[in-house]
Structure 1
Amino acid sequence: MLADTVRTWVAGWAVSRRTPSPVAQPWGFYIAVTDNPAEVGRHVLPEAEESLVRDAAASVTVPRTWMKTRRASRRPRGGRRSSARQRWWTGW
């Protein structure tokens, strides 16, 4: 389910910013960002597993390539789940 959610989000993000379609990678997805001097591309990882992060980072060949991933889930006191907004890094 998480993989489907990430795939859908990545596709929507690319369409909304008129970038090329996301490219599936072993660690997640890569999106080339056109017409933005502050960012040339972004890797989107569905999980922040060390091996996935290392593989994605090793593939970076140019500056201003961003990496986005879901942060580890944390339950606040009282055991309630945090909102979806709190589980994702800001800036997506």
Structure 2
Amino acid sequence: MAGLIKAWVHGWALSRGVGIPVAEPDGYRLDVGRPGHRVRYVLADARAVESRARSLKEPGTWLKVSGSRDEVAKTVPPEWEVGPPEYLMSAPIALRPVMAAPEPYRAELVGDGVVTDVVVRAPDGSCAATGRVAIAGGTAVIDQVVTEPEHQRRGLGRFVMRRLDEVAVAAGADRAVLVATEEGRALYLTLGWTVATEITAAHLPEEN
């Protein structure tokens, strides 16, 4: 579990263009530096939530915790907002036959070999679906997989995941990790991914 979390944290930092994660006794700190998301702490054990949350006061601070929503919600002070359940998932990388984009869509790869985007475009050139992979060590970290509402249920999510898998194989990765929403988990389970742990986000909101 510790290895999966470490890979995900470092890959997420690459994907989002933030600084190198800083190891701390209870997990990692990432200095994100964006409105509403100033700093993020990733905790590998829900038992660390109470002391960590009570020591943090700055709006825009986030926790990502390996633990259930119920565990986190009953532990953090009331000023923290707790998000819905998410899931850290993993899958072995496998070389599979190349998959063509579903008609009438076309796909392109954009990236530098460390972070690569798959962009699927509709016939009018608009973006129909996207996904990103960042290679952290020997692990491919999948991020920001989105299918636009008007293009859903056409196999684009499955196609994007296959293309990201191809990129990971070419980069020499042997395992992939991601954090999925409840909806995304259903898709990834059908693609052979397994749930490693529930992930819960909590944050101190900034005033508008």
- TM-score in terms of structure 2 length: 0.33
Change (3 A) 1:26 1:58: farther
CA–CA separation in structure 2 for the residues paired with 1:25 and 1:12 = 17
State the Cα distance separating 1:85 from its structure 2 match: 7.7
The residue type equivalent to 2:23 in the other structure is A
Larger radius of gyration: 2
Between Structure 1 and Structure 2, the one with more strand by share is: 2
Equivalence for 1:76: none
CA–CA separation in structure 2 for the residues paired with 1:31 and 1:66 = 10
The answer as to 2:119 corresponding to 1:8 is no
Equivalence for 2:43: 45
Unaligned runs of 5+ in 1: 73-82
The answer as to 2:88 corresponding to 1:89 is no
Aligned length: 76
Q: Please provide the CA RMSD for this pair.
A: 2.1
The residue type equivalent to 2:17 in the other structure is R
Equivalence for 1:55: 51
- Per-residue CA distance 1:33-87 (angstroms, 9 max, x = gap): 02x20110111011211xx113322442421100011224xxxxxxxxxx51872
CA–CA separation in structure 2 for the residues paired with 1:65 and 1:14 = 16
Q: Which has the higher contact order (CA 8 A, sep 6+)?
A: 2
Change (3 A) 1:86 1:12: same
State the Cα distance separating 1:12 from its structure 2 match: 0.4
CA contact (8 A) 1:27 1:55 kept: no
- Identity in percent: 34
- Structure 1's consecutive aligned runs of 4 or more residues displaced over 6 angstroms after TM superposition are none
Unaligned runs of 5+ in 2: 69-193, 202-208
CA–CA separation in structure 2 for the residues paired with 1:11 and 1:3 = 12
